[in-house]
Amino acid sequence: MKWTMSALAALVLAHAPLDAQVTLSSAVNAASYLNPVLPNGNLAQGGVFIAFGAGMGPAKLQEISAFPLPTNLGGTSIAVTVNGTTVNCIMLYTSAAQVAAVLPSDTPVGAGTMVLSYNNTPSAPLNVTVAAHDFGIFAINQGGSGPGVVTNAITNTVITSTASANPENLLDIWGTGLGPVAGNEAAGPLPGNLPNLDLQVYVGSQKATVNYAGRSGCCTGLDQIEITVPSGVYGCAIPVYFVVGGVTSNFVTTSIAQSGSTCVNPSALTAGQQQSAQANGGLRTGSASLSRFYEYTAKINYESDSAGVVFSKVPLVDLQLAGNVPPPVANTCLLVQFQSGGLAGFVASTPLQAGTITLGGPIGSYTLVSPQPGDYGITFSPSSPSGEAGVINKGTVFTAGTYTFTGASGADIGAFNVSIPFPTPLNWTNRPTVPATVDRSKPLTINWTNGYAGALLYINGQSQASLGVGAQFTCYADATAGTFTVPQAVLEAMPPTYLSNGNAQGSLDVYQVYSGPGFTAPGIDIGTTMFSDGFDIGPITYQ
């Protein structure tokens, strides 16, 4: 794999004048981009990191081109001090807003400070923590999530849905922060298996056989891990993560087909749907859904049932995301970080107008309301908090049976009729009483009954480490299985929950989702149906 410094991060370079103040605002693992407040957000001995700030280097990106690697590049240098020992970092590239460097392997472990200097002007010290191991997996989005930088070890091609891996294939996973090496890192790459490495690689829920784990043969700080794909794991977005020295990495995904090179994604748009979207300037979609959630909080418990239909046209710029997101796979878990000011979402879609829509079923017939164009719904909640927004009827709840949406012709959507089955309530049999505490050092077992055949059970946990910054895991199970255990490694990657005004900023949800058959209506290209049924509880403290 060719190593280019620009592949480390999406470079959005600020053009600061040369005499600007040097500001160092953060430093993160170059692959995972995990926030330093998270348990796995430290800098690793021998790992590549990205520093962000302003006035840190020249306006035009300057990067290294040959060995030996310098400790001063374009006037930029970085010093890290831990326990009274100062080391000079090995520079990879520099610019005004973003700098990449390698933290030398002989940097002491522990809490310390980082100072970045440009043209002999130092920044204020930045607090950092150095760990022996804090591995990050590179991702295609260059932000630490989604499809990972995983290549076929024989052909060196990147794994994608149309160039998928198969069981027993050899794959190379690329990252940084695996651990320290001995030797002169600045002089050139130091390949070879890292000795005494406590390493587990998970593909889905299975451990993969590790054939090689160490530096790549091309580059300082770049780690290459060769694995054998375990059997029995298939899907277009299978989670992959590492546990190195007891520290869980970021989570990425990869595509594994049971056979052949193409992973069949049931969510993919057909050729006809794509052609229609191009002709109409966007994908015209309809979504019909039913949901039942039991809300358990420290102050009030209530049930909230809702039914809705949404019609919209998704812009062409979002077409790939809108129609081709692979569905999750049972017996897997995925964890992502979140923080204020994160990545932007979809471009706003255009609402499509239907006529009057009614809901019929075991509880009678009701007319849906439309608080905004293209969005039609009704909510039932017999014990909701006083004044809860959007509650239309407080005297009724869903019972098991089949519910039918019937729509009259409107400005954009023609007449339609779509039915959705709805089950007896899911029963979370070992649901904790809130407020509750989850021990992150132990696996968490969830037990339930009344799972619906064909549905997928979601176990979703969220914990904030500070205001607006934290991590969220979602584990998936066959809804009829009745039990699932969230792995310890997943929970250990969650941050301890912080308190806001005495309230723990964490939650734990368990619910099943059934994706039913599609439906058609004049004026849409694709129609989907689903129901969800489960529990939202909080506050939860992860400790």
Provide the number of structural domains found in the chain. Answer: 3
Q: How far is residue 326's CA from residue 330's CA, in Å, rounded to a whole number?
A: 13
- Per residue of the chain (543 residues), what is the pLDDT tens digit? 333 333 333 323 333 344 469 999 999 999 999 999 999 999 999 999 999 999 999 999 999 999 999 999 999 999 999 999 999 999 999 999 999 999 999 999 999 999 999 999 999 999 999 999 999 999 999 999 999 999 999 999 999 999 999 999 999 999 999 999 999 999 999 999 999 999 999 999 999 999 999 999 999 999 999 999 999 999 999 999 999 999 999 999 999 999 999 999 888 888 898 899 889 999 999 999 999 999 999 888 999 999 999 999 999 877 765 556 789 999 999 999 998 644 444 567 999 999 999 999 999 999 999 989 999 999 998 877 666 656 777 788 999 999 999 999 999 999 999 999 999 999 999 999 999 999 999 999 999 999 999 999 999 999 999 999 999 999 999 999 999 999 999 999 999 999 999 999 999 999 999 999 999 999 999 999 999 999 999 999 999
The verdict on 80 and 146 lying in the same domain is: no
The verdict on 203 and 113 lying in the same domain is: no
Residue type, 529: T
User: Residue 397: how many CA atoms within 13 Å on its side-chain side?
Assistant: 14
The answer to whether residue 265 is domain-embedded is: no
pLDDT of residue 372: 92
Query: In terms of Cα–Cα distance, which of 250, 249, 252, 256 is closest to 229?
Result: 256
Q: How far is residue 43's CA from residue 32's CA, in Å, rounded to a whole number?
A: 11
The secondary structure of residue 148, as a DSSP letter, is B
Q: How far is residue 198's CA from residue 468's CA, in Å, rounded to a whole number?
A: 33
The answer to whether residue 262 is domain-embedded is: no
The verdict on 477 and 420 lying in the same domain is: yes
**Six-digit token pair at 1?**
């794999």
Q: How far is residue 71's CA from residue 89's CA, in Å, rounded to a whole number?
A: 6
Query: In terms of Cα–Cα distance, which of 363, 360, 283, 377 is closest to 323?
Result: 283
The secondary structure of residue 386, as a DSSP letter, is T
Q: How far is residue 155's CA from residue 151's CA, in Å, rounded to a whole number?
A: 8
pLDDT of residue 383: 74
Indicate which CATH number applies to the domain containing 140.
2.60.40
The verdict on 283 and 233 lying in the same domain is: no
Q: Point out the domain boundary residue: 94, 111, 131.
A: 131
The verdict on 9 and 114 lying in the same domain is: yes
pLDDT digits (tens, 9 = 90+) for 382-427: 877 666 656 777 788 999 999 999 999 999 999 999 999 999 999 9
pLDDT of residue 321: 58
pLDDT of residue 195: 94
**Six-digit token pair at 299?**
């102050």
Q: How far is residue 288's CA from residue 308's CA, in Å, rounded to a whole number?
A: 6
The verdict on 109 and 188 lying in the same domain is: no
Q: Point out the domain boundary residue: 101, 131, 161.
A: 131
DSSP string computed for 13-47: -----TTSPPEEEEEEETTT---TTSTT-SEETT-
pLDDT of residue 474: 98
Contact present, 431 and 510 (Cβ < 8 Å): yes
Q: Which domain holds residue 354?
A: 271-542
The verdict on 366 and 237 lying in the same domain is: no
**Six-digit token pair at 49?**
């990191």
The answer to whether residue 308 is domain-embedded is: yes
Residue type, 156: N
The verdict on 28 and 10 lying in the same domain is: yes
The verdict on 174 and 238 lying in the same domain is: yes
pLDDT of residue 521: 98
Contact present, 497 and 43 (Cβ < 8 Å): no
The answer to whether residue 188 is domain-embedded is: yes
Residue 398 burial class via C-beta count within 10 angstroms: exposed 0-12, middle 13-18, buried 19 and up: buried
Q: How far is residue 137's CA from residue 250's CA, in Å, rounded to a whole number?
A: 6
Q: How far is residue 243's CA from residue 221's CA, in Å, rounded to a whole number?
A: 18
Query: In terms of Cα–Cα distance, which of 336, 298, 338, 305 is closest to 537?
Result: 298
SS3 letters across 199-214: EEEEECCEECEEEEEE
pLDDT of residue 17: 40
Query: In terms of Cα–Cα distance, which of 387, 355, 350, 382 is closest to 370?
Result: 355
Indicate which CATH number applies to the domain containing 30.
2.60.40.10
pLDDT of residue 82: 98
Q: How far is residue 460's CA from residue 523's CA, in Å, rounded to a whole number?
A: 35
Tally of helices (H runs) and strands (E runs) in the chain: 3, 43
Q: Point out the domain boundary residue: 229, 256, 283.
A: 256
Query: In terms of Cα–Cα distance, which of 38, 37, 40, 123 is closest to 79?
Result: 123
The verdict on 106 and 203 lying in the same domain is: no
CA–CA distances in Å: residue 103 to residues 64, 75, 156, 328, 336: 16, 18, 28, 36, 25
Contact present, 130 and 108 (Cβ < 8 Å): yes
Buried residues in 87-105 as b, exposed as e (16+ CB within 10 A): bebbbbbbbbbbbbbbbbb
Per DSSP, the three-state class of 188 is coil
The secondary structure of residue 75, as a DSSP letter, is T
The verdict on 172 and 100 lying in the same domain is: no
The secondary structure of residue 393, as a DSSP letter, is B
The verdict on 125 and 140 lying in the same domain is: no
Residue type, 191: P
The answer to whether residue 390 is domain-embedded is: yes
The answer to whether residue 266 is domain-embedded is: no
